[in-house]
């Protein structure tokens, strides 16, 4: 009987294929969680504890509440100063108190903070004199505080340029053997800028200890988030550069502090940068010169009012019996006194010399600049003669 080739193959036992070893996906460790980290419900009740983000000490949370209350009152007073002509412009951060204060509480005094123009509340929470904080917004040509002494860069108006500065400084600190961390405040609009991507990429390649803290408040001036990115969330923008990322409920003060403390610890341990996206909302217009009703409706604003971070933390601390009516009243009084001192100190018009506009433009003034200076000098002299 002749055996066909097909039958022979059927008769021959097949070798068992070895199982393909599972290769871990290196990107998995970089991905943010599918939903923003939240430890408190909007009503201030505590959610089940999490091993990955333990609750910060209650003493730290009480101090966070105090700074948030004082910061909100400062913010309201600064807004009022613009209406009185004491400030040229003011970008409010009302509604973002958990992010503003949580950022500075997560870092050490000798770490560096790189703020945007919206971080006035964060700077006062860091202990910088409020008049010095507002100096730039009065129209001065430099910030009012010493960045080297305060370990705080000048407030940055161009979007995202501070990302590059922070990455360079943090790398330099590491190169000199120091464990300094740089915390960079960024708005959602800044993630669309090239400097953001360059800063994140540089920090990732050189393992610079930077925490890129994105406050996603839904609008880059009037442009909604949907017109800025097609990414599931802004936190995913770190993954492509090899940067671990996380997203957090930015109106949950407990979660904000817990996530940022973990990010800072990651950077300080020499593991490179970390990106955190906080989902929050600015309750006021972009600045006092903006009409927010042109691009968002009252119902949207009202919905976010129910997620107030200050009320949320207050309710939780009351439930822990570390805050009562007397303590709340005392902190409110402290905030009022803070605002009153600021009003008094800002009630005088600064003395400025228009000719200083021409200082430090060039190391050696150009002929055109010298001619313009002479023209202004002549106009000022003419005004004095007419007076």
Q: Would you state the structure tokens that stand for residue 362, as one six-digit string? A: 């060039």
CA dihedral (91, 289, 147, 76) positive or negative:
negative
Q: Which residues of the chain have pLDDT under 50?
A: 1
Question: Looking at the chain, which runs of residues are DSSP E strands?
Answer: 112-114, 182-187, 210-216, 219-220, 223-224, 245-249, 274-279
pLDDT, residue 6, reads 56
151, 266, 286, 307: the active-site residue: 286
Residue range 340-353, pLDDT digits in tens: 999 999 998 777 78
Asked if 282 is an active-site residue, the reply is yes
pTM of the model: 0.89
Tell me what pLDDT residue 141 has.
Answer: 77
Please say if 286 is a catalytic residue: yes
- Residue 257 CA, chain-centre distance (Å), reads 13
**Cβ atoms 245, 214 nearer than 8 A:** no
Interval 136-176: pLDDT, tens? 999 887 899 999 999 999 999 999 999 999 999 999 999 99
Specify which residues 279 forms β-bridges with: 216, 249
**197 part of the active site:** no
User: For the residues of 207-224, what is the DSSP string, one character each?
Assistant: T--EEEEEEE-SEETTEE
Among the options 66, 138, 282, 312, which is catalytic? 282
Structure confidence at residue 386 (pLDDT): 86
Range 113-124 burial, b when 16+ CB lie within 10 A, else e: bbbbbbbbbbbb
Q: Return the pLDDT at 373.
A: 96
Token pair 């509440």 is found at 65
For residues 262 and 211, is the Cβ–Cβ distance under 8 A?
Answer: no
**What pLDDT score was predicted for residue 25?**
77
């Amino acid at each position: 009987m002749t055996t066909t080739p097909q039958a022979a193959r059927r008769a021959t036992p097949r070798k068992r294929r070895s199982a393909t070893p599972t290769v871990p996906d290196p990107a998995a460790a970089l991905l943010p969680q599918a939903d923003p980290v939240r430890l408190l419900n909007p009503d201030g009740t505590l959610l089940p504890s999490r091993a990955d983000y333990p609750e910060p000490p209650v003493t730290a949370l009480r101090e966070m509440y105090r700074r948030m209350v004082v910061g909100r009152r400062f913010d309201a007073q600064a807004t009022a100063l613009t209406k009185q002509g004491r400030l040229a412009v003011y970008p409010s951060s009302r509604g973002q108190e958990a992010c503003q204060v949580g950022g500075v509480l997560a870092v050490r005094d000798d770490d560096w903070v790189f703020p945007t123009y919206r971080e006035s509340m964060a700077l006062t929470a860091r202990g910088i004199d409020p008049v010095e904080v507002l100096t730039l917004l009065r129209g001065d040509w430099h910030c009012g505080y010493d960045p080297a002494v305060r370990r705080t860069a000048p407030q940055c108006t161009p979007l995202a340029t501070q990302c590059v500065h922070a990455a360079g400084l943090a790398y330099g600190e590491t190169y000199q053997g120091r464990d300094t961390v740089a915390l960079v405040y960024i708005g959602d609009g800044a993630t669309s800028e090239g400097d953001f991507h360059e800063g994140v990429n540089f920090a990732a390649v050189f393992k610079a200890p930077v925490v890129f803290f994105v406050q996603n408040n839904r609008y880059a001036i009037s442009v909604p988030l949907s017109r800025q990115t097609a990414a599931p969330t802004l936190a995913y923008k770190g993954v492509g550069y090899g940067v671990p990322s996380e997203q957090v409920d930015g109106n949950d003060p407990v979660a904000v502090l817990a996530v940022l403390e973990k990010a800072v610890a990651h950077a300080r341990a020499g593991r490179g940068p970390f990106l955190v996206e906080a989902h929050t909302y600015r309750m006021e217009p972009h600045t006092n010169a903006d009409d927010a009703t042109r691009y968002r409706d009252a119902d949207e604003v009202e919905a976010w009012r129910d997620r107030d971070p200050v009320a949320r933390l207050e309710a939780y601390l009351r439930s822990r019996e570390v805050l009562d009516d007397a303590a709340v009243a005392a902190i409110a009084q402290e905030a009022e006194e803070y605002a009153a001192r600021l009003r008094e100190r800002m009630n005088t018009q600064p003395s400025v010399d228009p000719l200083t506009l021409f200082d430090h433009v060039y190391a050696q003034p150009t002929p055109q600049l010298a001619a313009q200076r002479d023209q202004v000098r002549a106009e000022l002299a003419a005004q004095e003669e007419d007076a």
